[in-house]
Amino acid sequence: MTTTPLLPNHLSGQWQTGSGPGTPLFDPVLGTELARVSSDGLDLAAGFAFARDQGGPALRALSYGERAGLLGAIVKVLQANRDAYFEIATANCGTTTRDSAVDIDGGIFTLGHYAKLGETLGNAHALLDGERIRMGKDPVFQTQHILSPTRGVALFINAFNFPGWGLWEKAAPALLSGVPVIVKPATATAWLTQRMVKDVIDAGILPPGALSVVCGSSAGLMDQLQPFDVVSFTGSAETARIIRSHPAVAARSVRCNIEADSLNSALLDPAATPQSEAFGLLVGEVVREMTVKAGQKCTAIRRVFVPRALYDAAAQAIGARLANIPVGNPRHEAVRMGSLVSQEQKAGVLEGIATLRTEAELLFDGNSTALVDADASVAACVAPVLLGSREPTKARLLHEVEVFGPVATLMAYDSIDQAHELIRRGEGSLVCSVYSADPAFIAAAALELGSAHGRVHAVSPDVAASHSGHGNVMPMSLHGGPGRAGGGEELGGLRALGFYHRRSAVQASSAALDVLAASACALTF
Ligand code: NAP
């Protein structure tokens, strides 16, 4: 096997290559080595200090409106290099063009959204949180809550499944807030993140230190964090535990956002029939969620709840649609689902299916069909698998084990209260979708399930053509979830800026608050 060159890291305003042989990145379909990454030997302390001391002040010298302009300029650079990103995604992530677009165009769209939102904040350098509040009888002395950009760095430790979107959905609100970014992409798919950062740095849009990338080992990164820094993590619950218990978070109160794994659900109204639109909409969405990015989405539907009378019809309809999805080399025009990102993920998904099978029956398995234009002994491809349980109240693993691939479990419920209870056994998820033609059913489900989810997505016949999709994370809506989903919050429009700002109460005379208000902007959602 040929040894490929190391991708340089960008730290301290310079391109720096790590030492040693590095870790290889592979094409998960062809098995060939594409590049190597290494963070060994980097002076991380100097890099974090440079971002904090050079990048931060330069960004904060600009207004929100000016920083929004920088985001707009980044959008143009990414659009100009879009073709290269699709090539990298196909090679390093094994995704079809349609699936690469979710990551690449999704990231560009999110940046563009924040560029527009930022314009509305104009020339301000801080945000006003609510109205002034009188502190006593005399109105001359009042409290005004303000949000000021934190004077530290934002460290992003990202997951392998969204190397493009995962960077920009975090970087857009951070840079708009005036906070410099250091991103550490997941090693397996680090190339796309590195290339996007490279294009933006080469274009000279951002001040030195505003955007850095460290590829390879995460060793030592968390140790650099200081009290005014923030860390935003996306990945497994296991690594999340390490991040949360790190001294930077535990002892230095570094603000920490966690996006971990999640057993998202889909719920069909008991009033549905196999002929109803709600039934068809559920089937279509489950198939889409199982197959987009080969099911490697933190928001993908993992558990599908249908009334007991519709269990067999749903199994048949979903299986029939899955049978029409050719799996294999994403470069082949007939292929609709590519591969997982690595052999490690393939092994993990196969192991996960075996675990779920101890409590579930097999309703559909596409793995008996040959791959298109791919060697099954080399490619990290796994075809869709639909499992089923007629007795989900007796199951434990089905509500606990997230299989990060094209796998979902159909479950029968006997009453809507039981369905809600089973959904909540996921112990906190990113999203639940509800399929019904009845607005009252949807509203009741939202109230029942909202506290256990970051998002409730209702699909009714009247929004069939316009809804944004169960698994699509939109920048104007909250992303995150309670409990095992990590307890984090991202996006949600300008709400995202809160993570990168510090709230303080300014208690002062009306005259002083008038001066303060002149350089701030009221934060409204
Ligand atoms: P992971 O192993 O937790 O890795 C996530 C990120 O954390 C990567 O950048 C990883 O770097 C880094 N990391 C690993 N150990 C670390 C440590 N001790 N300190 C600091 N950073 C560390 O997750 P993954 O490999 O991306 O995926 C594993 C599982 O997590 C999946 O199978 C799935 O169950 C879940 N997942 C959830 C989401 C989500 O969005 N909710 C996304 C992806 C995966 P390296 O890559 O260099 O190890």
Same domain, 270 and 256: no
Q: Give the integer Cα–Cα distance in Å for 188 and 340.
A: 11
Instruction: Give the domain range for residue 47.
Output: 9-260+489-522
Alpha helices for 397-494 (secondary structure H):
416-424, 439-449
Q: How far is the CA of 403 from the centre of ligand 1 (A)?
A: 14
Residue 46 covered by a domain: yes
Shared domain for 221 and 332, answered yes or no, is no
Would the pLDDT of 353 be above 60? Answer: yes
Kindly report the protein residue whose alpha carbon is nearest to atom 46 of ligand 1: 186
Protein residue whose Cα sits closest to atom 14 of ligand 1: 239
Contact by Cβ (8 Å): 44, 13:
no
Among 26, 165, 218, 342, name the best residue to mutate to test ligand 1's pocket (greatest count of ligand atoms within 8 A of Cβ): 218
pLDDT, average across residues 492-513: 97
Q: What is the pLDDT of residue 2?
A: 58
C-alpha span between 174 and 164 (Å, rounded): 16
Tell whether the model's pLDDT for residue 464 goes beyond 80: yes
Question: To test the ligand 1 pocket, which listed residue (239, 244, 293, 401) has its Cβ within 8 A of the most ligand atoms?
Answer: 239
Which ligand 1 atom lies nearest to the CA of residue 259? Answer: 41
50 CA → ligand 1 middle, Å: 26
If you take atom 39 of ligand 1, which residue's CA is the nearest one?
298
Task: Spell out the residues 6+ positions from residue 480 whose beta carbon is closer than 8 angstroms to its own.
Answer: 257, 259, 430, 454, 486, 487, 488, 489, 490
Quick: pLDDT tens for 425-457: 999 999 999 999 999 999 999 999 999 999 999
Residue 160 lies in a domain: yes
Take atom 15 of ligand 1 and give the residue whose Cα is closest: 239
Question: Any idea of the CA torsion for 135, 141, 146, 152, to the nearest 10 degrees?
Answer: -110
Alpha helices in 221-374 (DSSP H): 237-244, 247-250, 277-291, 311-322, 343-357
Interval 112-134 mean pLDDT: 96
- Could you tell which of 160, 194, 223 is best to mutate to test the pocket of ligand 1, judged by most ligand atoms within 8 Å of the CB? 160
Q: Would you name the residues annotated as active-site residues? A: 259, 298
What CATH number is associated with residue 193?
3.40.605.10
What pLDDT is stored for residue 231 in this prediction? Answer: 98
Look at residue 433 in the predicted model and tell me its pLDDT. Answer: 98
Ligand 1 centre to CA of 234 (Å) is 7
What are the phi and psi torsion angles at 124 (to 5°)?
-70, 155
User: 3-class DSSP state for residue 456?
Assistant: strand
244 shares a domain with 270: no
Q: 64-80 vs 97-119: helix axis angle to the nearest 10? A: 160
Indicate the average pLDDT of the chain: 97
pLDDT above 70 (res 1): no
The ligand 1 atom at the shortest distance from the C-alpha of residue 160 is 26
Which atom of ligand 1 lies closest to the CA of 23? Answer: 47
- Verify that 243 and 273 share a domain, yes or no: no
Residues shown for the chain: 525
Q: Is the pLDDT of residue 176 over 70?
A: yes
Q: Say whether both 218 and 317 belong to one domain.
A: no
- Asked whether residue 455 falls in the same domain as residue 499, the answer is no
Ligand 1 atom, smallest distance to 345 CA: 32
**484 domain-assigned:** no
Find the 235 Cα to ligand 1 centroid distance in Å: 4
Ligand 1 atom showing the smallest separation from residue 159 Cα: 26
Q: What CATH number should be reported for the domain holding residue 360?
A: 3.40.309.10
pLDDT at residue 525, as a whole number: 78
Sort strands 264-268 and 429-435 into parallel, antiparallel or unpaired.
parallel
Q: Is the separation of the CB atoms in 306 and 413 below 8 Å? A: yes
Task: Measure 146 CA to ligand 1 centroid, in angstroms.
Answer: 35
The mean per-residue pLDDT over the stretch 185-200 comes to 98
Does 311 lie in the same domain as 352? yes
pTM: 0.96
**Does 198 share its domain with 291?**
no
pLDDT band at residue 403, thresholds of 50, 70 and 90? very high
Average pLDDT of the residues in 370-383: 97
In a domain, 119, yes or no: yes
Domain shared by 250 and 289, yes or no: no
472 belongs to a structural domain: yes
Is 1 within a domain?
A: no
Residue 200 CA from chain centroid, whole number: 21
> What's the domain count of the chain?
2
- How many A from CA of 215 to the centre of ligand 1? 13
pLDDT of residue 3: 80
Q: Does 513 lie in the same domain as 392?
A: no
Residues 242 and 363 in one domain: no
The per-residue pLDDT for 524 is 85
| Res. 214: pLDDT tops 60 | yes
* pLDDT one-digit tens code per residue, 242-296: 999 999 999 999 999 999 989 999 999 999 999 999 999 999 999 999 999 999 9
User: How many whole angstroms separate alpha carbon 359 and alpha carbon 381?
Assistant: 24
Cβ pair 214, 181 in contact under 8 A: no
Protein residue with least CA distance to atom 19, ligand 1: 218
Give the Cα separation of 22 and 176 in Å (integer). 34
Please give the distance, rounded to the nearest whole angstrom, from the Cα atom of residue 437 to the centre of ligand 1: 39
Amino acid in the structure at residue 121: L
In ligand 1, the atom with minimum distance to the C-alpha of 190 is: 46
Confidence of residue 202 (pLDDT cuts 50, 70, 90): very high
Using CB distances shorter than 6 Å, the residues near ligand 1 are 157-161, 184, 186-187, 218, 222, 234-236, 239, 242, 259-262, 298, 348, 402, 404
Query: Is 4 part of any domain?
Result: no
Atom of ligand 1 nearest to the CA of 261: 41
Distance 238 CA to ligand 1 centre (A): 8
Span from the CA of 107 to the centroid of ligand 1 (angstroms): 19
Residue 136 binned pLDDT confidence (cut-offs 50, 70, 90): confident
Do 332 and 217 fall into the same domain? no
